[in-house]
Chain A
Amino acid sequence: MKVLVPVKRVIDYNVKIRVKPDGSGVETQNVKMSMNPFDEISIEEAVRMKEKGVAEEVIAVSMGPQQCQETLRTALAMGADRGIHVKTDDVLEPLAVAKMLKAIAEKEQPQMIIVGKQAIDDDCNQTGQMTAALLGWSQATFASVIELGEGTAKVTREIDGGLETVDIKLPAVVTSDLRLNEPRYASLPNIMKAKKKPIEEMDPASLGVDTTPRVKTLKVSEPPKRQGGVKVESVQELVSKLVNEAKVI
Chain B
Amino acid sequence: MTLDPETLSLLLDATRRLVDEKLIPAEAEADANGELPSDVVRAMREMGLFGLTVPESYGGLGLNRSEEVRFLFEFCRASPSFRSLLGTTVGVGGKSILLDGTEEQKAYWLPRIARGETIVSFCLTEPDSGSDAKALKTRARRDGDEWVIDGTKRFISNAPLAGLFVVMARTGERVTAFLVPAETPGIEVAKPWRKMGQRAAHVADVAFEDCRVPADAVLGGEAGIGRGFNAAMKALDDGRLHIAAVAVGLGRRLIEEMLEYARTRRQFGEPIASFQLIQAMLADSEAELAAARALVETTAAKRDAGEPVTRDAASAKYFATEAVWRIADRAVQLHGGYGYMSDTPVERLFRDARLLRLFEGTSQIMQLVIAREMLREA
Contacts and interface: CB of A to CB of B under 8 A. Distances in A.
Nearest to B52: A188
B160 interface: no
Contacts of A190: 48
A186 B46 contact: no
Nearest to B114: A189
Interface residues of A, number: 16
Interface string B1-34: 0011011011101110110000000000000000
B47 A187 contact: yes
B43 interface: yes
A128 to B, nearest CB: 26
Contact of B6 (A73, A187, A189): A73
A187 B46 contact: yes
A191 B51 contact: no
A44 B91 CA distance: 33
A189 B10 contact: no
B49 interface: yes
B18 to A, nearest CB: 6
B48 A189 contact: yes
A189 to B, nearest CB: 4
Main secondary structure, interface of A, reads helix
A82 to B, nearest CB: 17
Contacts of B49: 188
Contacts of A194: 7, 10
Contact of A191 (B14, B43, B56, B60): B14
B309 interface: no
Interface in A43-89: 69-70, 73-74, 77
B278 interface: no
Contacts of B43: 185
Interface in B44-67: 46-49, 51-52, 56, 60-61
Contacts of A188: 11, 14-15, 47-49, 51-52, 61
A189 B51 contact: yes
A189 B9 contact: no
A241 interface: no
Main secondary structure, interface of B, reads helix
A186 B9 CA distance: 13
A185 B23 CA distance: 13
A194 B7 CA distance: 9
Nearest to B18: A185
Interface string B301-333: 000000000000000000000000000000000
Contacts of A77: 10, 14
Interface string A137-164: 0000000000000000000000000000
B61 A192 contact: yes
Interface string A235-247: 0000000000000
Contacts of B17: 185
Contact of B14 (A69, A185, A195): A185
Nearest to A77: B10
Contacts of A74: 10
Contacts of B4: 195
A192 B7 contact: yes
Interface string B59-87: 01100000000000000000000000000
B6 A192 contact: no
Contacts of A70: 6, 9-10
B209 to A, nearest CB: 39
A185 B13 CA distance: 10
Nearest to A12: B13
Contacts of B18: 185
A188 B18 CA distance: 11
Interface of A: 34, 69-70, 73-74, 77, 185-192, 194-195
Lowest 6 A-B CB distances belong to which pairs? Answer: A188-B48, A189-B48, A187-B48, A191-B10, A187-B47, A186-B14
Interface of B: 3-4, 6-7, 9-11, 13-15, 17-18, 43, 46-49, 51-52, 56, 60-61
22 contacts: A34-B13, A70-B6, A73-B7, A77-B14, A185-B14, A185-B43, A185-B46, A186-B10, A187-B46, A187-B47, A187-B48, A188-B47, A188-B49, A189-B48, A189-B60, A191-B7, A191-B10, A192-B3, A192-B7, A192-B56, A192-B61, A195-B7
